[in-house]
Chain A
C-alpha cells in the first residue's frame, strides 16, 4: 500500500485499547430533561472557571463606574459622595448584571459558529435542555457579578438600610429579570452571524437602556422628553425596585411590575429561542 512508508508508531497498542473502549460504550437510560439541563448548567460553571475574562470584562466596567461616579459626581449630584453612593450602588448592580446577559447570547452564538450546537442537537435529549441549562448556569454568573459590585460598594461605605434580606431580595430580583432578558439575548444570538455581532447588538441595546435610566441621576432634573423616556424605561423600574429593596423601602408594586416584565420576556423569547435553535441550519 502506498501508505506503508508512513510511520504508524503506537497505533497497534492504541488499537487494542480502542477496541476495548468501543466495546464498553453500552447505552444507559436517557437522562431526565432536568438532569440534562443541570448538566448544561454545570458546563456554564466550567466556563466561568476557564474563561473568567468574560465575567471580569462586564464586572470591571461597573466597578469603575461606582468609583468614578461616586467620587467625581457624587458631591455635585447629591451633595456628598456618601449620599450619592447610597443612590448609585443598587443601580450599578443592575447595570453589571444586565451587561452580563450579553454573554449569554455570545456564548450561544459561539456554540453555533464552532459547531458544538450540532453535537448537542444530534443527542437524544430534551430539546430546550441546552438553553434552559445555559440560562441556569448564567444565573450563577449574574449572582457573582452582583456580589462583586456590592462588595466594592460596601468597602467604600455603602450601607443598605434594608439589611441582608433586602440585599438578597434585590439581587434575586435583578437575577430573575436578567434571566428573562437572557432569552431575548439568545434569540438575537441565533439570528446574528457571529459572536462579535451578537456582542455589539447586545451592548448597543443595553447602553441607551442603562444610561438613559435613573441609575445615575434622579430623572427630575432631565428635560421633559428624556424624563418621560426614563420613567417608562424598564431598567429604571428595575433600578427603583432594587434600590427600594436594598434600602428597606420597597414599593411592592414596582417589584411586581419587574416580575411581570421578566415573565413576559421569558414567555415570548424562551419559546422563540427554542424554535430558532431547533430550526438552526
Chain B
C-alpha cells in the first residue's frame, strides 16, 4: 500500500462553480488521520459539493486536494480504492433486497460469490438487519436504510469514509445507533469526514470541526476551541417550586446583571455567565434568598451559539428534513 500521509485530507483553495453560482469558493482543509473530522454548516453552505470533489465524483474548477496522499484528479482511481462514500441520499438500490445490495457491492469490489454472500450476512448481522435481509429496501424504515447504506460503505473497510449528513431525518434512537457505528469505525482506524448541519452531532463525534458558510471555511478547531471562542458559559437552573421562578429570575438578574431566559419547563431558567465562579455566586444568591434550587448545571455554549457568534446569524433550521430530531443543547 501507499505510505500513509500524516494528513488524511489536504485541500487548498478548492473551488466549484455551477453555472453562475459559486458553490465552493476556496475551501482549505487539513484533516488528520484516525479521527472524525466534522464539516459543519447550514444547507447550501457547500458541504456536499466539497465532499463530492474529495470523493472524486466532481472535478474541482480550482484548487487542489490530496486524499491519503493521492491527488483527487490525477490519481482519482487510486483514491477510489481507499475511500467510501455514504451520500446524503441513501445510495442503495431500493428494488433489491438488503442482502442483494451488499452482495452486489462485494462482487464489485472483487470478492468471490461465496465470500460476497458471507460478507453480506456478516454485515447484516452486525447492523441488526439480519431479519430484513430478504426484504426489498423500499420496505425499510429510514433508520434501517441508513444502516444498510453505511454497511454498503464498509463491505471493504475503507481507510477514509465520507459521511454526508448520516442522521438527517432519523429518530433519536436510530441516530444514536449511527453514532455508535461511526465511533466503532474510528476505533478500528478509519478516518471519517462527517458533514452535518447538526451542531450537536459534530460536537458528539468530531475531534476537530471546520465550520463552512457560503462555500468557505469560516472557523476551524476542536469543539472546545470553537466554544471557547464564544467565551461564555450558560447556567441552567431549575427551581423546586415553579411558582418561585419569577422571584428567582429577579435575584439572578440582580446578581449577574444578565436577564435570565425562561425555559419551557415552568421551573427552569438559563442565563449566560462569564465564568464558573460567577455561576456559583448566582446559585449562592438564590439560596441566600430562601429559594430552593432543585437542579443546576453549567454548560459550555452550544455550537448553535458558536455559529451565531461566527456568522451573526443562527444556523438555519432544516425544518423540512429534520423530522422529529432537534439539535440539543449540550449541558455536560
Please report A residues at the B interface, Cβ cutoff 8 Å.
1-3, 6-8, 10-11, 14-15, 17-31, 35-36, 39-40, 42-43, 46-47, 50-51, 111, 114-125, 281
Bound complex: CA A110 to CA B45 (Å)? 26
A26→B176 contact, CB < 8 A: no
Q: Say which one of B25-33, B177-185, B279-287 lies at the interface with A.
A: B177-185
Instruction: Please name the residue on chain B nearest to A119 by beta carbon.
Output: B91
Residues of A within 8 A of B90 (CB): 115
Residues of B within 8 A of A46 (CB): 95-96, 100
B332→A1 contact, CB < 8 A: yes
B254 on the A face (CB < 8 A): no
Residues of A within 8 A of B185 (CB): 22
Bound complex: CA A42 to CA B176 (Å)? 35
Residues of chain B from 202 to 260 with CB closer than 8 A to chain A in the complex: 204
B274 on the A face (CB < 8 A): no
A28→B110 contact, CB < 8 A: yes
Q: How far is the CB of B105 from chain A (nearest CB, A)?
A: 8
Residues of B within 8 A of A39 (CB): 104, 107-108
Residues of chain B from 161 to 203 with CB closer than 8 A to chain A in the complex: 172-173, 176-177, 180-181, 184-185, 187-188, 190
B263 on the A face (CB < 8 A): no
B115→A119 contact, CB < 8 A: no
Instruction: Please name the residue on chain A nearest to B104 by beta carbon.
Output: A43
B58→A281 contact, CB < 8 A: yes
Residues of A within 8 A of B188 (CB): 19, 22-23
B95→A119 contact, CB < 8 A: no
A18→B56 contact, CB < 8 A: no
A3→B176 contact, CB < 8 A: yes
Nearest 4 Cβ contacts at the A-B interface = A115-B89, A25-B157, A21-B126, A28-B110
Bound complex: CA A158 to CA B149 (Å)? 50
B91→A14 contact, CB < 8 A: no
Instruction: Please name the residue on chain A nearest to B154 by beta carbon.
Output: A25
Instruction: Please name the residue on chain A nearest to B90 by beta carbon.
Output: A115
Chain B residue total in the interface (Cβ 8 A): 63
Residues of chain B from 109 to 131 with CB closer than 8 A to chain A in the complex: 109-111, 115, 119, 122-123, 125-128
- Of B18, B58, B328, which is within 8 A of A3 by CB? B328
B108→A47 contact, CB < 8 A: no
Residues of B within 8 A of A40 (CB): 108
Residues of B within 8 A of A114 (CB): 89, 91, 93-94
Residues of B within 8 A of A124 (CB): 77, 80-81, 109
Bound complex: CA A115 to CA B104 (Å)? 16
Q: How far is the CB of B284 from chain A (nearest CB, A)?
A: 26
Query: Known contacts A15-B184, A50-B95, A116-B91; is A30 also within 8 Å of B204 by CB?
Result: no
Bound complex: CA A57 to CA B323 (Å)? 36
- Of B92, B110, B125, which is within 8 A of A116 by CB? B92
B55→A25 contact, CB < 8 A: no
Query: Known contacts A30-B110, A39-B108, A125-B108; is A7 also within 8 Å of B187 by CB?
Result: no
Residues of A within 8 A of B126 (CB): 14, 17-18, 20-22
Bound complex: CA A14 to CA B129 (Å)? 11
Bound complex: CA A24 to CA B154 (Å)? 10
B108→A10 contact, CB < 8 A: no
Instruction: Please name the residue on chain A nearest to B77 by beta carbon.
Output: A124
Q: How far is the CB of B24 from chain A (nearest CB, A)?
A: 12
Given contacts A47-B96, A122-B80, 11 further A-B contacts (CB under 8 A): A7-B173, A14-B127, A21-B127, A22-B157, A23-B157, A25-B157, A42-B104, A43-B104, A115-B87, A116-B91, A281-B52
Bound complex: CA A124 to CA B109 (Å)? 7
A selection of 6 A-B contacts at a CB cut-off of 8 Å is A18-B126, A21-B125, A43-B96, A114-B94, A115-B89, A124-B77
- Of B57, B92, B172, which is within 8 A of A6 by CB? B172
Bound complex: CA A54 to CA B80 (Å)? 33
Residues of B within 8 A of A3 (CB): 172, 176, 204, 328
Contact with A along B71-103 (1 / 0, CB 8 A): 000000100110111011111111111001000
Residues of chain B from 32 to 91 with CB closer than 8 A to chain A in the complex: 52, 55-58, 77, 80-81, 83-85, 87-91
B152 on the A face (CB < 8 A): yes
B155 on the A face (CB < 8 A): yes
Instruction: Please name the residue on chain B nearest to A129 by beta carbon.
Output: B108
Query: Known contacts A118-B91, A122-B80; is A17 also within 8 Å of B172 by CB?
Result: no
B96→A27 contact, CB < 8 A: no
Bound complex: CA A115 to CA B136 (Å)? 17
Residues of chain B from 249 to 304 with CB closer than 8 A to chain A in the complex: none
B331 on the A face (CB < 8 A): yes
B330 on the A face (CB < 8 A): yes
Bound complex: CA A119 to CA B55 (Å)? 10
Bound complex: CA A138 to CA B176 (Å)? 41
Residues of B within 8 A of A29 (CB): 110
Residues of B within 8 A of A120 (CB): 108
Residues of A within 8 A of B329 (CB): 2
Bound complex: CA A129 to CA B332 (Å)? 51
Residues of B within 8 A of A36 (CB): 108
Bound complex: CA A258 to CA B172 (Å)? 59
